[in-house]
Chain A
């Protein structure tokens, strides 16, 4: 079963996102298989972001192994890491860490042109398609700072999908959103998860959150970060832990 996992962490001590030599999570064994939808919950500073960074290969674990699409990621050459990394998308928290010195459209054109060497017109058309998909085509020429934080996160999602992504990590994407926006995100992510093969195939999605309530009907796998450990939980446990449905802190 584990052979087919897109991402597999074995015996991983997850490093802190800024202090890379100290572990924030211990003995993590976690496999993300094709088409799975994960929701990982934890309190502030519980290590959610560090776990996602480690799974995406953005920070090296203190110890343990990360297998990405069947290859030992940190033992791979730089060129192989680059290839593997393009199959993993990441949507950062808050404003999505857009490049502040570029406008919204240029934020999408850069990764398209960097990897495919396509001409500016082709890259622009693809970027506009992606912006239309997140309903932000009209904001193409704006600087990121002129966009609300929640909308910047949408641009970050579109930017992540400029690459041939098979696994997508989203760091607390629903924080601070009104219910209609939460619904918008859930529907969009469901669409990605069920994507047709002709459009690039289904995407495995891992999202972090403070509370599982918004993700109960959407995710098919749940995990909780508690006392430095990753603990998978069943659907029923997730429902109990998330509390009343009205408590939507995402």
Chain B
């Protein structure tokens, strides 16, 4: 066997192994998602006295605590995308398209994905470590010994919390970006009245945009919760593997969100 044949076979082996690992992981994640969703639908927030505070805590952790960061990112987004675009459009005399571009770029694409990345970085990684530690110290088995379903008690509040957080933060990010963009444009001498700007946004927004925004953010939140909870609970987390597992979780969550985003875009075009 020549060296090139050996290398190509080795490469094929690796690609094949990676492909099989990917399929197995996708299968396990899908199964975990189905089980978690069925538990969520079947048992909901009952018993309320226990579950509601947990859900509220997750919304606070993944949502409220991210407000300062989202404000900063939203303001920067307004400056980078909206103000620049508005200035350019004004130079070209095409201010009437400002609203359309804002809606296309910010509302449909950037805001949901950017918010998902922020929630993943801030809350998702913490979930992996938190659940991995619970598993390592045997607390998950202790829950089971008390007849408490870990999927219901640990995963369900995080799924609801992250879905609500991604949705609310996305709406907040959009509002912040649109407002800051207009203010930056105004400071740079762009002649665009607030009323015209809002009217342009209103004209550019379709009912599909609202539906897509709701659906996309909900799905992104669920995806982040499922992947992070799966990685946290799948096996006891060894302190040496925390960094590796967390990095892997970020890559898996992000890849899934981007792939789903592409599907949403294709679906939007055909609706």
Contacts and interface: CB of A to CB of B under 8 A. Distances in A.
Closest 8 CB pairs of A and B: A90-B145, A97-B142, A86-B147, A111-B146, A117-B47, A97-B138, A85-B147, A114-B50
B148 interface: yes
Interface of B: 46-50, 137-139, 141-142, 144-149, 153, 236
Contacts of A114: 47, 50, 146-148, 153
Interface stretch (A35-43, A68-76, A159-167, A194-202): A159-167
Given A97-B139, A114-B153, A56 B50 contact: no
A92 B138 contact: yes
Contacts of B46: 117
Contacts of A97: 137-139, 141-142
Contacts of B144: 58, 85
Given A89-B145, A97-B142, 20 more contacts: A53-B141, A56-B145, A85-B144, A85-B145, A85-B147, A86-B147, A90-B145, A92-B138, A92-B141, A97-B138, A100-B137, A100-B139, A110-B50, A110-B148, A113-B49, A114-B50, A115-B147, A117-B48, A160-B146, A162-B146
A100 B139 CA distance: 8
A113 B50 contact: yes
A217 interface: no
Interface string A27-59: 000000000000000000000000001001010
A163 B49 contact: no
Contact of B49 (A90, A119, A162): A119
A82 interface: yes
Contact of A160 (B141, B145, B153): B145
Question: Which one of B46, B47, B50, B147 has the highest number of Cβ atoms from chain A below 10 Å of its Cβ?
Answer: B147
A58 B150 CA distance: 12
Contacts, number: 61
Interface of A: 18, 53, 56, 58, 78, 82-83, 85-86, 88-90, 92, 97-100, 110-111, 113-115, 117, 119-120, 159-160, 162-163
21 contacts: A18-B236, A58-B141, A58-B144, A78-B149, A85-B147, A86-B146, A89-B145, A92-B145, A99-B139, A100-B137, A110-B146, A110-B148, A113-B49, A114-B47, A114-B50, A114-B153, A115-B147, A117-B46, A120-B49, A159-B146, A160-B145
Nearest to A99: B139
A99 B154 CA distance: 13
A92 B49 CA distance: 27
Contacts of A90: 145
A248 to B, nearest CB: 27
A109 B30 CA distance: 34
Contacts of B236: 18
B41 to A, nearest CB: 14
A134 B151 CA distance: 31
Contacts of B141: 53, 58, 92, 97
B136 to A, nearest CB: 11
Contacts of A92: 138, 141-142, 145
Nearest to A120: B49
Given A78-B149, A82-B149, A163-B147, A117 B142 contact: no
A1 to B, nearest CB: 28
A95 B40 CA distance: 32
A163 B148 CA distance: 11
B101 to A, nearest CB: 47
Contacts of B49: 113, 117, 119-120
Contacts of B142: 92, 97-99
A16 B144 CA distance: 18
A160 B145 CA distance: 8
A113 B46 CA distance: 11
Question: Which one of B46, B49, B236 has the highest number of Cβ atoms from chain A below 10 Å of its Cβ?
Answer: B49
Nearest to A111: B146
A78 B149 CA distance: 9
